[in-house]
């Protein structure tokens, strides 16, 4: 076989290899484009899900209202919603349900009636986390207490506030009893 024929045979092999590489490159490019599109969609969904913030007051009525005292602890339902982005707070049950895994910040303010101690505790999935309590004010007829906490929540975890047994909350048109929370960042 002449050297010239060997060169043509080698060139034919190279051409065949080039076609295979081009085909493989097209296949890899197609898969990469599909993965990039999936990442874009997931980021878009994550951004939408990551918008979580609520704030509500204990009573939307304009009159004076007392909650408690009760012999057993009672879940408080903050029915006057000021903000509920993401609809994670349920005004029927008073329960916040985490829509995504992340770190959340919660704050609650409790207005103390003038004649009896007050106290509220924050529960995560039914377990105690923090509380805010206060004795009746001695110098004046009103007082407030509050507490805040940042928590790592899994999707579906629930947060609620509970009036401590034998305690009372007073509310009126000033809406000083509030429960708020928001997602700091997803995990």
Q: What CATH number is associated with residue 180?
A: 2.60.120.40
Q: Using the predicted structure, report yes or no on whether residue 155 has a pLDDT greater than 80.
A: yes
Asked if residue 99 and residue 85 are part of one domain, the reply reads yes
Asked if residue 83 and residue 141 are part of one domain, the reply reads yes
**Phi-psi label, residue 85: left if phi above 0, alpha if psi -120 to 50, beta otherwise:** beta
Asked if residue 70 and residue 158 are part of one domain, the reply reads yes
Provide the β-strand partners of residue 174: none
Asked if residue 156 and residue 76 are part of one domain, the reply reads yes
Asked if residue 83 and residue 4 are part of one domain, the reply reads no
Q: Using the predicted structure, report yes or no on whether residue 21 has a pLDDT greater than 90.
A: no
Asked if residue 83 and residue 65 are part of one domain, the reply reads yes
Q: Using the predicted structure, report yes or no on whether residue 84 has a pLDDT greater than 90.
A: yes
Asked if residue 76 and residue 21 are part of one domain, the reply reads no
Asked if residue 15 and residue 87 are part of one domain, the reply reads no
Asked if residue 72 and residue 5 are part of one domain, the reply reads no
Residue 47 banded pLDDT, cuts 50, 70, 90? low
58-67, 76-85, 131-140 — which one is most confidently predicted on average?
76-85
Of 9, 30, 49, which residue constitutes the final position of a domain?
A: 49
pLDDT tens per residue across span 99-149: 999 999 999 999 886 778 899 999 999 999 999 998 887 776 778 899 999
CA distances from residue 23 to 18, 37, 146 in whole angstroms, order as listed: 8, 21, 66
Of 49, 65, 80, which residue constitutes the final position of a domain?
A: 49
Asked if residue 82 and residue 1 are part of one domain, the reply reads no
Count of structural domains within the chain = 2
Residue 1 banded pLDDT, cuts 50, 70, 90? low
Q: Which two tokens stand for residue 157?
A: 């975890």
- The residue segments making up the domain with residue 130 are 51-186
Residue 49 banded pLDDT, cuts 50, 70, 90? low
Measured between alpha carbons, how far is 96 from 81 in angstroms, rounded to an integer?
12
Asked if residue 140 and residue 161 are part of one domain, the reply reads yes
Q: Using the predicted structure, report yes or no on whether residue 60 has a pLDDT greater than 70.
A: no
Asked if residue 117 and residue 75 are part of one domain, the reply reads yes
Q: What was the pLDDT predicted at 48?
A: 61
Mean pLDDT of 26-32: 89
């Amino acid at each position: 076989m002449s050297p010239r024929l060997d060169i043509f045979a080698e060139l034919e092999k190279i051409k065949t290899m080039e076609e295979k590489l081009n085909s493989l490159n097209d296949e890899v490019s197609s898969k990469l484009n599909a993965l990039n599109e999936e990442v874009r969609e997931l980021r878009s969904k994550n951004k939408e899900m990551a918008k979580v913030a609520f704030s509500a007051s204990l009573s939307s009525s304009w009159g004076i209202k007392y909650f408690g005292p009760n012999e057993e602890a009672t879940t408080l339902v903050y029915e006057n919603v000021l903000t509920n982005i993401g609809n994670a707070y349920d005004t029927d049950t008073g329960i916040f349900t985490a829509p995504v895994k992340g770190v959340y910040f919660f704050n609650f303010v409790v207005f103390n009636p003038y004649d009896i101690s007050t106290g509220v505790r924050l529960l995560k999935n039914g377990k105690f986390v923090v509380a805010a309590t206060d004795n009746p004010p001695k110098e004046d007829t009103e007082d407030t207490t509050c507490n805040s906490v940042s928590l790592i929540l899994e999707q579906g975890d629930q947060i609620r506030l509970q009036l401590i047994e034998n305690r009372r909350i007073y509310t009126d048109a000033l809406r000083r009893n509030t429960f708020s929370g928001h997602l700091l960042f997803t995990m």
